Amino acid sequence: MADVIELDPVETLGAGAVGVPGQRAFYIQARKDDVQLTVLVEKEQVAMLATEALQFLERLAGEFPEDPGEHGASLAFEAQLHEPTVPLFRARLIGLGYDPARRLVLLELRERTPEDEEAAEAEAEAASESGESDLLPDDEGFVARLYASRAQLRAMAAHGVEAVASGRPRCSLCDFPMDPDGHICPRWN
């Protein structure tokens, strides 16, 4: 059974990176009351989540228009990461949803994908046939469900875009990231 963590609604929601460009770790972080959840993600996941979140919010606005007061004040500070940034798990799957009755967006982070679960079931079945079923965990991993306002999701997406863009500069020839101490460009070969 999955360990479900639900922060409903979050007080803060953020995305960002810790470390120097080229050696950064990316996180999604949420807080409610005295509980802070930090989840490790990939840089590409942050970039894709930011893009998808903005498109998702745009589609929502057509069907469920935002109230003028729903935009909220600037949430830039709240969208930043706050110490400590110790992740509980690494997200493999990220999804978005919407609760129209409460006017809240759902951000769901899963430690395992359906393919991971299918592989684990196959391993468990093989282990039970060979009599080794006690050796395999029956843990489905963590699932975090974060309910946030559209303004919070928008601020998290904007901060995530900034974090991704603040990485190493790209080579104009090969588009690979360049390190401060030099770059061996494959196009010069």
Question: How far apart, in Å, do the first and last CA atoms of the chain sit?
Answer: 52
Is the pLDDT reported for residue 139 higher than 90?
no
Q: Does position 135 have pLDDT exceeding 50, yes or no?
A: no
Structure confidence at residue 118 (pLDDT): 64
Is 80 exceeded by the pLDDT of residue 176? yes
Pairwise CA distance, residues 37 & 26, whole Å? 14
Q: Where are the domains of the chain?
A: 3-188
* DSSP-assigned states of every residue in 91-160: -SEEEEEEETTTTEEEEEEESS-HHHHHHHHHHHHHHHHTT-GGGS-----EEEEEEE-HHHHHHHHHHH
Q: The whole model's pTM is what?
A: 0.79
Q: pLDDT tens, 61-89?
A: 999 988 776 655 556 667 889 999 999 99
